[in-house]
Amino acid sequence: MKNIVLAAAVLAAPLLFSIEATAAEPMKALIVDGQNNHKVWPKTTQMMKSYLEDTKLFTVDVATAASKGTDPNFKPEFGKYDVVVCNFGHGAARWPSETEKTFEEFVGGGGGFVVVHAADNSFPDWPAYNEMIGLGGWGGRNEKSGPYVYTNSDGDLIRDTSAGRGGNHGKQWEFPVVVRDHEHPITKGMPVEWLHAQDELYDQLRGPAQNMKILATAESQVTSRHEPMIFTVKYGRGRVFHTPMGHAEYSQECVGFITTLQRGTEWAATGKVTVAIPDDFPTADKLSSRKFSE
């Protein structure tokens, strides 16, 4: 009898090892870029790639479109990935129609999508993209694009349908981020308030804002309103994580940005977060940055 049990255990061992090895395999992320009014975009793509790979949760590929116009060869195989991170920007040309359709099917079918800073400037006339990002700015966006969305001083959600352009920011500064949802996996464990490194604080963003959940805000010096800084959108079966932060390399060196990107990307891919809040996370009165070395 002992021999039978031992033989069964030996036979089962390779199967167990195979299951464990499969479970431990990193997820696949894709960063898409190529056209961005922020000239630092090649570096921020590499920074975000490094930050995600540092978690050991992801392998990261990059798909770069031609620098001008619609690139007929821009046809990433989105289905190969768990999550796509967008680092396009203002003035980016639309993707080939087939690529746009494939991407819509990818996110709507359950794929993860991450929107960083100027990616919400992109593609103002692509309806599905605007639904995915929830809020956007510039590119002719106005009241026809959807409401302004922000919170008042009491933390109440405001959907403002008044007329006006979408997208604005004041001078760059080091601003406090206020966590509004302390139970969401992305923001759970973050300080109630933390200082973000020098960045553009986007204000007056507007869009469809459907199935949108604001997780953190920052008070604009322009509007005196608390503008969304970390939020999620549900698009079909897909999860979208959106942060307007991350203008330049010094903005993305902020430990708050790094941690938010890592946790937001994991959530977009899986619906869960295992990345811990690091010991050097910023506080309400102390900035924290990590100099990026290529």
Q: Which residue has the higher pLDDT, 209 or 1?
A: 209
266 belongs to a structural domain: yes
Spell out the alpha helix ranges (H) of the chain: 2-24, 41-54, 97-108, 127-133, 249-252, 255-270
22 belongs to a structural domain: yes
275 belongs to a structural domain: no
Q: How confident is residue 8, by pLDDT bands cut at 50, 70 and 90?
A: very low
pLDDT in tens, 172-202: 999 999 999 999 999 999 999 999 999 999 9
278 belongs to a structural domain: no
Q: The whole model's pTM is what?
A: 0.92
Give me the CATH number covering residue 74: 3.40.50.880
How many domains does the chain contain in total? 1
191 belongs to a structural domain: yes
54 belongs to a structural domain: yes
294 belongs to a structural domain: no
Of the candidates 56, 50, 7, which has an alpha carbon nearest to the alpha carbon of residue 27?
A: 56
292 belongs to a structural domain: no
Residue 9 has pLDDT above 80, yes or no: no
Residue 3 has pLDDT above 80, yes or no: no
Of the candidates 276, 202, 270, which has an alpha carbon nearest to the alpha carbon of residue 238?
A: 270
Q: How confident is residue 153, by pLDDT bands cut at 50, 70 and 90?
A: confident
Cα separation, 115 vs 229, whole angstroms: 11
pLDDT in tens, 85-141: 999 999 999 999 999 999 999 999 999 999 999 999 999 999 999 999 999 999 999
Cα separation, 255 vs 261, whole angstroms: 10
Neighbour-count burial for 13-33, b at 16+ CB within 10 Å, e otherwise: eeeeeeeeeeeeeebebbbbb
Full residue range of the structural domain in which residue 122 is found: 2-270
* Six-digit token string for 272: 């869960």
